């Protein structure tokens, strides 16, 4: 119960900060540029217009896009790389992704979202039988797969037996390559074709994700109950 109170307090604080961020953004910067979440170039210009609080804008926007799934996070991540370069952009993407996924995990664990449970059952029918080590590999591999929703996986993990610290570790390890790729291609897209860079990023992430998923299945198979061949 103590953990739930802490999570509830942090979630309320998060939403208070988001409301403050949205109010501050539209109060001070909406007169400069219309903020279009789906257009990376527009996001880049908006971040540059925000001046010194640009890194906070990226981190808060990434977290907001994860908690509120319909908001696209890829253009924000690409804009981070285009604005701040490979390494600094990666750091801001990483921080925003960790914060957003942590709140999604906490909200789902408190609320026990049925949608997340149904999503898990459709894609991973035996998820309730999995131990924490296997679930860690599943979360980490999913972070490398562009076709697996980052947002929904964060919510789905909250209804499993996976502890928060294991979830955080798996997410942190899994999102480093994706964060760097998005920052890199965002930076490169300023000088090259945006479409080509996006396609390359998706292909590389898919290859890495499939490799991690296969490795995870092999490593974790010994932890699963084995069927009796005589039955």
Whole-angstrom CA distances from 93 to 49, 100, 103, 206 are 19, 10, 16, 19
pLDDT tens over the chain, length 231 residues: 444 555 556 666 666 665 555 555 545 444 344 455 556 677 777 788 777 888 888 888 888 888 887 777 888 888 888 888 888 999 999 999 999 999 889 888 887 766 677 777 776 666 665 678 888 888 888 887 767 788 888 988 888 888 899 999 999 998 988 888 878 777 766 555 555 555 555 555 555 555 555 555 554 444 334 444 444
What are the φ and ψ backbone dihedral angles of 178, each rounded to 5 degrees? -65, -40
Q: What string of H, E and C letters represents the secondary structure of 87-136?
A: HHHHHHHHHHHHHHHHHHHHHHHHHCCHHHHHHHHHHCCCHHHCCHHHHH
Q: What is the pLDDT of residue 95?
A: 93
In a domain, 138, yes or no: yes
Location of structure tokens 């119960």: 1
Q: What is the pLDDT of residue 207?
A: 56
In a domain, 218, yes or no: yes
Find the domain containing 201 and state its range. 2-223
In a domain, 22, yes or no: yes
In a domain, 231, yes or no: no
The answer to whether the beta carbons of residues 127 and 120 sit under 8 Å apart is: yes
In a domain, 199, yes or no: yes
Q: Is the dihedral of CA 143, 114, 71, 94 positive or negative?
A: negative
In a domain, 228, yes or no: no
Distance of CA 225 to the CA centre of its chain: 31
Q: How many domains does the chain have?
A: 1
Give the C-alpha separation, 160 to 224, whole Å.
16
In a domain, 229, yes or no: no
Distance of CA 103 to the CA centre of its chain: 11
In a domain, 70, yes or no: yes
Location of structure tokens 């103590």: 2
């Amino acid at each position: 119960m103590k953990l739930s109170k802490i999570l509830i307090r942090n979630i309320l604080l998060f939403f208070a900060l988001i409301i403050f961020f949205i109010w501050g953004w539209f109060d001070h910067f909406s007169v400069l540029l219309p903020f279009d979440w789906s257009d990376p170039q527009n996001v880049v210009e908006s971040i540059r217009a925000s001046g010194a609080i640009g890194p906070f804008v990226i981190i808060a926007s990434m977290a907001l896009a994860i908690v509120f799934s319909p908001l696209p996070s890829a253009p924000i991540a690409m804009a981070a790389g285009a604005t701040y370069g490979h390494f600094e952009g990666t750091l801001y993407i990483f921080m925003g992704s960790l914060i957003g996924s942590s709140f999604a995990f906490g909200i789902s664990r408190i609320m026990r979202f049925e949608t997340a449970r149904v999503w898990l059952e459709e894609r991973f029918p035996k998820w309730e039988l999995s131990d924490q080590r296997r679930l860690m590999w599943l979360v980490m591999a999913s972070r490398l797969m562009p076709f697996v929703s980052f947002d929904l996986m964060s919510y789905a993990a909250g209804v499993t037996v996976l502890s928060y610290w294991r979830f955080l570790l798996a997410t942190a390890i899994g999102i480093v390559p994706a964060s760097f790729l998005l920052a890199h291609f965002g930076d490169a897209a300023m000088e090259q074709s945006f479409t080509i860079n996006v396609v390359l990023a998706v292909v590389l992430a898919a290859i890495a994700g499939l490799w991690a998923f296969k490795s995870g299945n092999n490593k974790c198979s010994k932890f699963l109950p084995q069927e009796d061949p005589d039955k």
